[in-house]
Structure 1
Amino acid sequence: MKIKLDKKYKELVSRVKCKAEHELLSGVVGNNALLSEVMSCTNSVKETEKLISDIYFADEIEWIEPRYKWRLKSEKFKERYVRKLIITGSIAFYTIVANATAMTESELKKLLEGTGLPFEAFEKVSVDED
């Protein structure tokens, strides 16, 4: 079985993979930080159990990087959302978040190369659900 997971779950996967099957749920429940991490991506205990089970029984995990919409951190330019112009491959700023381009951190860093704008000047606004 192959599953796709966000890179932020690498530590969770390593913890789950090193536990015996009968220890999984009790090990997660006993670890409040780990439980809150798992519960933050599920809606119920049943979904949490399924995620843990899927991780445990996965033969292969494909790591994906989440896409976010980004904006400048500056108070003066707070409503400046990043958009990648497809034709030119350059960067543009829009005042409406719906016009922003969802990108991974690495895609934004690549887009910023040569612009003089540091990656640290930007913040994540929302996760792209697509």
Structure 2
Amino acid sequence: MKIKLTLDEKYREMVEDIRSVNNPNCSYYMDSYTEKIEALTRSWFDSGEIYEYQVKVIERIHSADEIEWIEHKYNWRLKSDKFRKRYIGIDILGGVLFFKQPEAADNMTESELKKLLEDTGLPFEAFEKVEADD
């Protein structure tokens, strides 16, 4: 049976760490990634924080044949404080706009922002990601 997982990008470091060894030590990963493993345990099983299910989460990640990543969306803003309108967005015709308030900006993945910046002369490195709730 082929195991395919679809996970949020925020789990990438943990998943790569778990998959990098032949036989994962479950207690090490539960200590190192407590919050993330508990979040996955709650989303995959109706068990809350039961140890056996947390071990199953680690084993499932380790034995997965394929992992598909879902990129997280962020608000993006210019790193410099010299700009009054710092948050980036998209107008109705697909052009680049800047807003003073983060709630007016568009939520975008990193790849969406890079695509938007193509042919604008604006470097990706000039922007920083901000959680959409901030």
Contact 1:6 1:66 in 2 (8 A): yes
Q: Which amino acid aligns with 2:100?
A: T
CA separation in 2, counterparts of 1:63 and 1:84? 24
SS at 1:62's partner residue? strand
Which ranges of structure 1 fall in alignment gaps of 5 or more residues? none
Aligned to 1:66: 72
TM-score (norm 2): 0.68
**1:40-79 aligned within 5 A:** 40-41=35-36, 46=49, 49=54, 51-77=57-83, 79=85
**1:1-130 aligned within 5 A:** 1-7=3-9, 9-17=11-19, 18-20=21-23, 23-28=24-29, 35=32, 38-41=33-36, 46=49, 49=54, 51-77=57-83, 79-85=85-91, 87-127=92-132
Contact 1:71 1:78 in 2 (8 A): no
Change (3 A) 1:75 1:11: closer
Residue-by-residue CA offset, 1:57-116 (whole Å, 9 max, x unaligned): 43421122221110111112265211122x311110111211111111121111111212
TM-score (norm 1): 0.70
CA separation in 2, counterparts of 1:47 and 1:60? 26
TM-superposed CA distance for 1:51, in Å, is 4.0
Contact 2:77 2:130 in 1 (8 A): yes
Over the residues paired in the alignment, what is the CA RMSD in angstroms?
Answer: 3.0
CA separation in 1, counterparts of 2:71 and 2:80? 25
Count of residue pairs the alignment pairs up = 119
CA separation in 2, counterparts of 1:115 and 1:123? 17
Which ranges of structure 2 fall in alignment gaps of 5 or more residues? 42-48
